[in-house]
Amino acid sequence: MTSKPWDQYLGDQDRKVLEKGKFARRMGFGSKPAIIVVDVQKFMVGVQGEEDQWPSSGGQSAHDAVAQIVSLVGQGQKHGVPVFFTRFEIAPDGRDMGVYARKRDLLSNPHWCLAGEVGSEMVDALIPTDNDIEFVKKKPSCFHGTPLLGYLIDRQIDTVIIVGGSTSNCVRATVFDAASYNYRVIIPQQAVFDRFPISNAISLFDMDRQFADVVDVSEVRNYFEGLPIPADRQVWLERADSFCDRVTGCDQAAD
């Protein structure tokens, strides 16, 4: 069994409270999933070896999570799972920061989340396809002031798989809202990241205790593999197989 990030922080009394209160039951996956990719942007991830130039980056944990996210998104797309990408952007003059401005200074830095700057862009490894939906948000939750809920209702989604960052801020807020709308919420623990390891661990603990299933990424992979491949994707995959059979060293983009 994969250890949980919060295990090292729990004492015997904490474990007794969990058992007595019957917390952290498994809700499991439903039958109609969607993936919500939370703010996997350059300002959040940064560039390896250039951490000092990216004031809000998550460091190595962000890079590790991005590798998992890219793989999960690709697998989900193969099986026709809707993918929703969010980007957090602030006007260059900070006029739309709201309460955020009372807790954090505006960073006049192209490597921050300012609209029109490189920092606000999605990481290069994660490019939405024509079938995906991408939108900008101004608050932590992906639901606040966005069309996300309407999209989920329209597609009859019952399960949301939430990845991205940061765990203690925008991921957490999105998880709470999704749970409030009675969605099954799944968090692959290796596919979220935070600037502070303790914040990552305790946030995952809180969410797993009451609002979501925090699982190993392999559980999500196995779940995706059990989903049928839509007819249009199957045709595409068959064409890719045929092409790869004729081209030496061809790697299938869908794998």
Q: Is residue 253 assigned to a domain?
A: no
Identify the pLDDT of residue 228: 85
Identify the pLDDT of residue 30: 97
Q: Is residue 11 assigned to a domain?
A: no
Q: Is residue 19 assigned to a domain?
A: no
Residue type, 64: D
* Contacting residues for 172 by C-beta, under 8 A, at least 6 apart: 140, 203, 206, 207
Q: Is residue 22 assigned to a domain?
A: no
Query: How many domains are there within the chain?
Result: 1
Q: Is residue 124 assigned to a domain?
A: yes
Q: Residue 54 belongs to what domain range? A: 27-244
Q: Is residue 14 assigned to a domain?
A: no
Q: Is residue 114 assigned to a domain?
A: yes
Identify the pLDDT of residue 252: 46
Main-chain dihedrals φ then ψ at residue 96, nearest 5 degrees: -110, 20
CA-CA-CA-CA dihedral for 10, 140, 171, 113, to nearest 10: -110
Structure tokens at 98: 């709201």
> pLDDT digit of tens for each residue in the chain (255 aa)?
578 989 888 889 989 998 888 898 999 999 999 999 999 999 999 998 888 899 999 999 999 999 999 999 999 999 999 999 999 999 999 999 999 899 988 888 889 999 999 999 999 999 888 889 999 999 999 999 999 999 999 999 999 999 999 999 999 999 999 999 999 999 999 999 999 999 999 999 999 999 999 999 999 999 999 998 877 666 555 554 554 555 445 444 444
CATH assignment of the domain containing 74: 3.40.50.850
130 burial (CB, 10 Å; 0-12 / 13-18 / 19+) is exposed
In which element (H, E) is residue 133 found? strand 133-137
DSSP 3-state percent helix, strand, coil across the chain (nearest 5): 45, 15, 40
Q: Is residue 195 assigned to a domain?
A: yes
